[in-house]
Structure 1
Amino acid sequence: MSASEGSSGHSADAPAKRKDKAKVSRTSLILWHTHQNDAAAVKKLLEEDQSLVHARDYDNRTPLHVASLHGWIDVAKCLIEYGADVNAQDRWKNTPLADAEGAKKHSMVELLKMYDGVSFGQDGSHSEPKPVLPPLSNKCDWEIDPVELDFTNSHIVGKGSFGEIIRASWRGTPVAVKRILPSLSDDRFVIQDFRHEVNLLVKLRHPNIVQFLGAVTEKKPLMLITEFLRGGDLHQCLKEKGALNPTTAINFALDIARGMAYMHTEPNVIIHRDLKPRNVLLVNSNADHLKVGDFGLSKLIRVQNSHDVYKMTGETGSYRYMAPEVFKHRKYDKKVDVYSFAMILYQMLEGDPPLSNYEPYEAAKCAAEGLRPIFKSKYYTPELRELTEHCWDADMNKRPSFLEILKRLEKIKEKMGTDHHWNIFTS
């Protein structure tokens, strides 16, 4: 094919691509206005383009699914008037009626049945996927009797909005206990998140992942028990020591990457979604070994193929280490953890948090707009700098996998042992 032919073909594709992009934008718009219960805006969009009544999101949910879940009668009537499929099924095989029944929207149930709506699926899916795994079998293997936990000499090592982390003792062994606040022990969503974290942790076995020991799920307060790591977290270590020497930084980076490579292995990929120094723990005070912890925001995804991407909750995790696609509420995959890893690697070698002259939210906003931290440390070799830049690439598809990161870090470590340039820093 000649150059002129290739050029004309490309220009012919451009309007089609623009049209596809506009279609995606309008799809988001009708779903958004439906969610906001704005019947007038929904009607205006449908007057302009009636096909939008069949719009689908990443979970195959239509505007009528959204209206039914929330009980927005006027919006639902408008959608039905413009030809909405009353029995459309989402990715969980739920119909709008199943959603209305699950959410106990009785008026909506009556309306949909008037238009021959039928009920399939799980009686209400909501907008996020349900946890992939069913309730765990052999619960007796890990259910802990709270009587066995000794809080005599305990102390709080961390606090969150849902509870606190306490250093306690279990059968004579120091442990970390994540205890849900008693006032939240009956909250349906808190219980769901707690069980989700247990479902994840019980399956994890790796030297660079904090070891799950058991949980209290049958009595209150709910508690999750893991090994206690005496060295504290990487955040505190960096706060006290500043920049790490290159040997330590590379060894730490290898430990994090090994743990993450294990989590990212298909077909059951676990996306951490909140990888940051506070969630990386030092095994002991000698700081010679790291483990990745705190899986409260993690997602277990059963991957159908290696290029699957997901529409998950936007702005999940901590702003300073947050990938641009998460901040922008775009679809994303496991490469969000690779971006966070780059920010941690930068901080270990520089001593300061990434974009430290900005508040966390502003740092995330600037990063989403293309800004990246400036390399100042003399410890950054060309290979390390190139790896970091690849890991925080704005295009998540260009970021390397953790298996590739491990190979590149091993080569950098080998070179450190033979290159005299490094010896002045590591002696």
Structure 2
Amino acid sequence: MSTSEGSSGHSAGDFAAVAPETKKQSKAKVSRTSMILWHAHQNDVVAVRKLLEEDGALVNARDYDSRTPLHVASLHGLIDVAKCLIDFGADVNSFDRWKNTPLADAEGAKKHSMIELLKSRGGLSYGQSGSHFEPKPVPPPLPKKCDWEIDPTELDFSHSSIIGKGSFGEIVKAGWRGTPVAVKRILPSLSDDRLVIQDFRHEVNLLVKLRHPNIVQFLGAVTDRKPLMLITEYLRGGDLHQYLKGKGALSPARAVSFALDIARGMAYLHNEPNVIIHRDLKPRNVLLVNSSADHLKVGDFGLSKLIKVKNSHDVYQMTGETGSYRYMAPEVFKHRKYDKKVDVFSFAMILYEMLEGDAPLSHHEPYEAAKYVSEGHRPMFRAKGYTQELRALTEQCWAADTNKRPSFLEVLKRLEKIKETLPAEHHWNIFSS
């Protein structure tokens, strides 16, 4: 569902309900869970082993869908990571949300070497053999309900509050089975609009595929009754736009920490062969898990486009002014063909805003800012927080020549190196709601 520049794609909730713990313990658990799932996905055996040596319990850490690091390794055929996890005692027959074991995932993805490995270690093929990977998703409304179809009577709006508005609807904080959730609700007056329904179906079909610690978690949708609704986790920390408005310029350490979370989510979206171009990456669409601001997720995929690439340099036949002007890549503003590097440009603008404490080209109206950028201009660096390396990375990410913009995997590597050179954030615990 497309949204205006002032809208928010809220979604929410912490990783999962946790037993009574201190805030500090809970925060550390979320961070470590995120890290091991990420490093498993990136086939980084050294990082996975190091995390497990520090905390063996992480071997069976679970994300929102109860997927373990071994599920991730099995799905992508990452043999060395899987062997490492099993050596540390990973449960080879753990169930995820779909009642799939790691072996079921490997079978669904046709990872033959992984199938042999898991069977040799006692893996059993329960579940639905990777049934959550649909080669051709069925567009809702569906003739019969699937596992993510939500009965609207289960949604509790008695204490609801509006947390965002878009072109076609509103985002409401509500309750679902005792848990706060974010509900994107199509306006009743537009529920019969063919294009609006098409947009809604597209977003549902996109979100149902996504599972990553730095991507807002899809929980379900109402597709066979009006109003149409899309339900995601509710993130208690609000969006990055609100956060920066209150905090101003961030320390380099905090800005880099935030940038790493955003880049991890975007690297997942840009993973081939199913590249997802966000097309509206901006602070309002980056959400904070909680008021401690220790974990970010990328959200609002109303304008996203799923592309199957034939090679890594494909340029897509997508033109037009899509997204929000202030963070828009010049090639989009000029109605030229573009690729996934438009998201890298938007990321540079966000990084600039985090370090400067002010929106890029804030003295221009959004449209004028986009026009100014399309003419070759860029925001001026003023903040002292810009190290030479951070400035160089930002300039490359917003380069006019898209070939000079790095991929998000490259951005991650450079940010990790920059992080090592920065002084630690000493006041992490002073952030409060």
Mapping for residues 117-156 of structure 1, pairs under 5 Å: 133-135=136-138, 139-156=145-162
- In the alignment, which residue of structure 2 is the partner of 1:191? 197
Which one-letter code corresponds to 1:337 in the other structure? D
- In the alignment, which residue of structure 1 is the partner of 2:268? 262
CA distance in 1, matches of 2:281, 2:136: 23
CA distances 1:341-378 after superposition (whole Å, capped 9, x unpaired): 00000000000100111100000000000010000011
Mapping for residues 96-111 of structure 1, pairs under 5 Å: none
- In the alignment, which residue of structure 1 is the partner of 2:336? 330
Which one-letter code corresponds to 1:150 in the other structure? D
Mapping for residues 10-159 of structure 1, pairs under 5 Å: 133-135=136-138, 139-159=145-165
Which one-letter code corresponds to 1:225 in the other structure? I
CA distances 1:93-135 after superposition (whole Å, capped 9, x unpaired): xxxxxxxxxxxxxxxxxxxxxxxxxxxxxxxxxxxxxxx9441
Which one-letter code corresponds to 1:385 in the other structure? R
CA distance in 2, matches of 1:211, 1:154: 20
Relative to structure 1, is the Cα distance of residues 176 and 378 closer, same or farther in structure 2, using a 3 angstrom cutoff? same
CA distance in 1, matches of 2:296, 2:250: 14
Alignment counterpart, residue 380 of structure 1, candidates 379, 386, 403: 386
User: 1:236 deviation in Å?
Assistant: 0.5
CA distances 1:287-331 after superposition (whole Å, capped 9, x unpaired): 111000000000000111111001213110000000000000000
Work out whether residues 216 and 233 of structure 2, in 8 Å CA contact, stay in contact via their aligned partners in 1: yes
CA distances 1:6-51 after superposition (whole Å, capped 9, x unpaired): xxxxxxxxxxxxxxxxxxxxxxxxxxxxxxxxxxxxxxxxxxxxxx
- In the alignment, which residue of structure 1 is the partner of 2:283? 277
Relative to structure 1, is the Cα distance of residues 423 and 205 closer, same or farther in structure 2, using a 3 angstrom cutoff? closer
- In the alignment, which residue of structure 1 is the partner of 2:395? 389
What RMSD, in angstroms, separates the aligned Cα atoms of the two structures? Answer: 2.0
Alignment counterpart, residue 401 of structure 1, candidates 404, 407, 432: 407
- In the alignment, which residue of structure 2 is the partner of 1:342? 348
CA distances 1:133-161 after superposition (whole Å, capped 9, x unpaired): 44158852100000000000000001111
- In the alignment, which residue of structure 1 is the partner of 2:236? 230
User: 1:416 deviation in Å?
Assistant: 1.1
CA distance in 2, matches of 1:287, 1:417: 19
Work out whether residues 191 and 228 of structure 2, in 8 Å CA contact, stay in contact via their aligned partners in 1: yes
CA distance in 2, matches of 1:344, 1:258: 15
2:176 counterpart of 1:170:
yes
CA distance in 2, matches of 1:185, 1:168: 20
- In the alignment, which residue of structure 2 is the partner of 1:240? 246
Work out whether residues 245 and 425 of structure 1, in 8 Å CA contact, stay in contact via their aligned partners in 2: no
CA distance in 1, matches of 2:136, 2:278: 17
User: 1:426 deviation in Å?
Assistant: 12
TM-score computed with the length of structure 1 as normaliser: 0.67
Work out whether residues 276 and 304 of structure 2, in 8 Å CA contact, stay in contact via their aligned partners in 1: yes
Relative to structure 1, is the Cα distance of residues 392 and 139 closer, same or farther in structure 2, using a 3 angstrom cutoff? farther
CA distances 1:230-259 after superposition (whole Å, capped 9, x unpaired): 000000011111111111111000000000
Which one-letter code corresponds to 1:400 in the other structure? P
2:298 counterpart of 1:292:
yes
Which one-letter code corresponds to 1:375 in the other structure? F
CA distance in 2, matches of 1:339, 1:387: 11
CA distance in 1, matches of 2:136, 2:261: 28
What stretches of structure 1 of length at least 5 have no aligned partner? Answer: 1-131
CA distance in 1, matches of 2:168, 2:427: 47
- In the alignment, which residue of structure 2 is the partner of 1:38? none
CA distances 1:59-110 after superposition (whole Å, capped 9, x unpaired): xxxxxxxxxxxxxxxxxxxxxxxxxxxxxxxxxxxxxxxxxxxxxxxxxxxx
Which one-letter code corresponds to 1:277 in the other structure? P
Which one-letter code corresponds to 2:196 in the other structure? V
Structure (1/2) with the larger helix percentage:
1
Which one-letter code corresponds to 1:348 in the other structure? M
- In the alignment, which residue of structure 2 is the partner of 1:118? none
Work out whether residues 286 and 297 of structure 2, in 8 Å CA contact, stay in contact via their aligned partners in 1: yes
**What SS does the aligned partner of 2:390 have?**
helix
What stretches of structure 2 of length at least 5 have no aligned partner? Answer: 1-134
**What SS does the aligned partner of 1:354 have?**
coil
**What SS does the aligned partner of 1:371 have?**
coil
TM-score computed with the length of structure 2 as normaliser: 0.66
CA distance in 2, matches of 1:424, 1:381: 20
CA distance in 1, matches of 2:136, 2:147: 17
- In the alignment, which residue of structure 2 is the partner of 1:110? none
CA distance in 1, matches of 2:354, 2:211: 26
**What SS does the aligned partner of 1:301 have?**
strand
CA distances 1:390-423 after superposition (whole Å, capped 9, x unpaired): 00000111100000000000000011148xxx98
Work out whether residues 349 and 377 of structure 1, in 8 Å CA contact, stay in contact via their aligned partners in 2: yes
CA distance in 2, matches of 1:141, 1:326: 37
- In the alignment, which residue of structure 2 is the partner of 1:413? 419
2:207 counterpart of 1:201:
yes
Work out whether residues 273 and 297 of structure 1, in 8 Å CA contact, stay in contact via their aligned partners in 2: yes
Work out whether residues 245 and 426 of structure 1, in 8 Å CA contact, stay in contact via their aligned partners in 2: no
CA distance in 2, matches of 1:212, 1:363: 33
- In the alignment, which residue of structure 1 is the partner of 2:65? none
CA distance in 2, matches of 1:217, 1:412: 45
**What SS does the aligned partner of 1:383 have?**
helix
- In the alignment, which residue of structure 2 is the partner of 1:74? none
How many aligned residue pairs are there? Answer: 293
